């Protein structure tokens, strides 16, 4: 069995070594133009030439959860496209989102500013009931985040394409349930995949539906958000601010208004990092299953886009 590795911005050696250890007997190598056909590929943002030259892949394993960049390419029709299925990401995402919600709710940003000025001053406690949090996308990451927020006793709403039942979370579904979901939330967390249906979904109209003093946490993809609309709504006072981890252009250009806006927190696409060991174990397990003719979880529905 031959496994080829083609991942942009990733040091190949530890991955190759890990895959060789997890799949003894397999030949594992980095792809270069003209390389022979492999059985499976481990990829992140591969060039189109790679896919054109590897039409017979059985599995194309993305080393991230989001497959939007991959699905923009022309993919071999018979190949299974497989996303990372948690692999240590959901706990990181829960940490990031709970931190962002609590930092905003408890005004820790304000206390940091006070400390910088040597000021000892209390802020009035806020009521959790007045900070309902909405999670857009209740998949592998969104469900974990919604459950984690419940642990802190925030009222939690969730929105997904198909109806869900999650204990303690008020679930809304489909286009018909979208505005009621938004209107029920003051803090909005985006964990949707980027698809033609969800591109620009965080815009002036939808963000205006949030309760006054709304706060946005975008941890999914930059192209979900219309940047100018967020700035307009913060500057008009309808939104209190935002914590942003993902951007239309990454790295975020140095002259972008988000860098210096006092009500916006920027992090460099780091809310849930790919963990190498967990990811290799998961991918190797799925390759073994495919080779045994078994079905696997995490196969992307190309029509749906996630
Ligand atoms: P999943 O595919 O497991 O979940 C996607 C969820 O979104 C599902 O609940 C799905 O509904 C819902 N959904 C999809 N389309 C729509 C729609 N049109 N309307 C309403 N709901 C919709 O994805 P993950 O939870 O694993 O990941 C989510 C995204 O997070 C990734 O696609 C990626 O972009 C981003 N991400 C960001 C990272 C970072 O570091 N910033 C790290 C990892 C991921 P249903 O359940 O009904 O299908
Ligand atoms: C992912 C990401 O999709 O890192 O996994 O954003």
Per CATH, 2-87+274-291 and 89-266 having the same topology is answered yes
Give the residue among 218, 166, 159 at the shortest CA–CA distance from 183: 159
List, in order, residues 6 or more apart from 253 with CB less than 8 Å away.
Answer: none
Give residue for tokens 């799949």: 23
Q: Is 65 a pocket residue for ligand 2 (Cβ < 6 Å)?
A: yes
Ramachandran angles phi, psi of 183, nearest 5°: -65, -20
Give the residue among 152, 190, 186 at the shortest CA–CA distance from 168: 152
Assigned token pair, 283: 């991918």
The one catalytic residue in 104, 147, 157, 221 is 221
Domain 2-87+274-291 part of CATH 1.10.10.10: no
- Residues 247 and 258 sit within 8 Å (Cβ to Cβ): yes
Helix (H, G, I), strand (E, B) or coil at 249: coil
Whole-number Å distance between alpha carbons of 149 and 153: 7
Ligand lying closest to the C-alpha of residue 272:
1
Whole-number Å distance between alpha carbons of 62 and 72: 13
Note if 150 is an active site residue: no
- For residue 46, CA distances in Å to 69, 73, 177, 227 come to 9, 9, 37, 28
Query: For ligand 2, atom 5, which residue shows the shortest CA distance?
Result: 64
Q: What is the pLDDT along the chain (306 residues), one digit of tens a residue?
A: 999 999 999 999 999 999 999 999 999 999 999 999 999 999 999 999 999 999 999 999 999 999 999 999 999 999 999 999 999 999 999 999 999 999 999 999 999 999 999 999 999 999 999 999 999 999 999 999 999 999 999 999 999 999 999 999 999 999 999 999 999 999 999 999 999 999 999 999 999 999 999 999 999 999 999 999 999 999 999 999 999 999 999 999 999 999 999 999 999 999 999 999 999 999 999 999 999 999 999 999 999 999
Residue 298 has, within 13 A of its CA and on its CB side, a CA count of: 26
Assigned token pair, 85: 């299925």
CATH H-level superfamily of 89-266 = NAD(P)-binding Rossmann-like Domain (3.40.50.720)
Q: Is 269 a pocket residue for ligand 1 (Cβ < 6 Å)?
A: yes
Whole-number Å distance between alpha carbons of 3 and 9: 19
Indicate the pTM of the whole model.
0.98
Domain ranges for the chain: 2-87+274-291, 89-266
Question: Which strands, in side-by-side order, build the sheet including 59-62?
Answer: 27-30, 2-7, 40-44, 59-62, 80-82
């Amino acid at each position: 069995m031959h496994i080829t590795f083609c991942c942009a911005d990733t040091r190949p050696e530890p991955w190759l070594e890990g895959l060789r250890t997890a799949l003894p007997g397999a030949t594992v190598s980095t792809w270069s133009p003209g390389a022979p056909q492999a059985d499976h590929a481990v990829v992140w943002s591969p060039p189109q030439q790679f896919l054109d030259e590897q039409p017979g892949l059985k599995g194309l394993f993305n080393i991230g959860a989001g497959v939007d960049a991959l699905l923009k390419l022309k993919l071999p029709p018979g190949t299974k496209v497989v996303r990372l299925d948690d692999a240590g990401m959901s706990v990181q995402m829960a940490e990031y989102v709970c931190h962002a919600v609590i930092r905003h709710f408890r005004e820790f940003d304000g206390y940091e500013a006070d400390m910088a000025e040597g000021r000892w001053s209390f802020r009035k406690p806020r009521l959790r009931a007045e900070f309902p949090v909405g999670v857009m996308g209740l998949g592998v990451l969104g469900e974990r985040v919604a459950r984690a927020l419940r642990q802190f006793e925030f009222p939690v709403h969730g929105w997904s394409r198909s109806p869900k039942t999650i204990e303690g979370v008020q679930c809304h579904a489909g286009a018909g349930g979208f505005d009621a979901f938004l209107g029920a939330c003051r803090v909005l967390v985006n964990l949707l995949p980027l698809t033609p249906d969800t591109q620009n979904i965080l815009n002036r109209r939808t963000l205006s539906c949030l309760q006054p003093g709304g706060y946005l946490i975008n941890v999914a993809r930059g192209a979900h958000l219309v940047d100018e609309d967020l700035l307009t709504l913060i500057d008009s006072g309808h939104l209190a601010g935002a914590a942003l981890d993902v951007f239309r252009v990454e790295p975020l250009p140095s002259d972008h208004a988000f860098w210096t806006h006092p009500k916006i927190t920027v992090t460099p696409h780091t809310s849930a990092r790919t963990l190498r060991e967990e990811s290799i174990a998961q991918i190797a397990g799925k390759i073994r299953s495919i080779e045994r003719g078994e079905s696997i979880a995490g196969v992307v529905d190309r029509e749906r886009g996630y």
